[in-house]
């Protein structure tokens, strides 16, 4: 299954390259981290979908994440922000979502502890 997925992905990338060259005539090679903004913009909907997976289907969460990310990027463009700021914003959003998702169980434990504490205080006040 994985090999078939890689073959299909490679074929689709080849088609995208042919379409790009037919429209623009050339592709400028880039090295280093020049394409990292594209990667971060692809990861952001995935992580938003993971964070929303507790409340809905994961696929719907990824679609909602893509809509949220496109809306936020459009809002930054409307505000006159540069593309560098958009990249920084996407990276910060990915970092915050990773911190939230990796620590969500600790947040739930803290909430449960606070609820038990409030119940104990309520019982003490009743007596």
What is the structure's pLDDT at 12? Answer: 94
What is the structure's pLDDT at 11? Answer: 94
Q: Is the pLDDT assigned to residue 77 strictly greater than 60?
A: yes
Distance CA(10)–CA(97), nearest Å, equals 30
What is the structure's pLDDT at 8? Answer: 93
Residues 4-31 have pLDDT tens digits of: 888 999 999 899 888 888 888 877 766 5
Q: Is the pLDDT assigned to residue 36 strictly greater than 70?
A: no
What is the structure's pLDDT at 34? Answer: 62
Within 10 angstroms of residue 35's Cβ, the number of other Cβ atoms is 10
| pLDDT confidence band for 59 (50 / 70 / 90) | confident
Backbone angles phi and psi of 29, in degrees to 5:
-70, 140
Read out DSSP for the chain? Answer: -HHHHHHHHHHHHHHHHHHHHHHHS------TTTTHHHHHHHHHHHHHHHHHTTTS-HHHHHHHHHHHHHHHHHHHHHTT--HHHHHHHHHHHHHHHHHHHHHHHHHHHHHHHHHHHHHHHHHHHH-
């Amino acid at each position: 299954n994985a090999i078939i997925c890689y073959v299909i992905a490679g074929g689709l990338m080849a088609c995208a390259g042919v379409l790009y060259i037919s429209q623009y005539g050339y592709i400028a090679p880039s090295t280093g981290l020049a394409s990292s903004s594209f990667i971060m913009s692809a990861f952001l909907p995935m992580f938003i979908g993971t964070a929303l997976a507790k409340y809905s289907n994961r696929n719907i969460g990824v679609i909602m994440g893509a809509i949220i990310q496109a809306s936020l990027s459009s809002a930054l463009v409307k505000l006159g922000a540069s593309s560098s700021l958009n990249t920084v914003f996407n990276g910060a959003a990915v970092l915050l979502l990773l911190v939230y998702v990796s620590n969500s169980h600790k947040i739930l434990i803290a909430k449960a502890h606070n609820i038990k504490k409030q119940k104990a205080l309520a019982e003490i006040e009743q007596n």
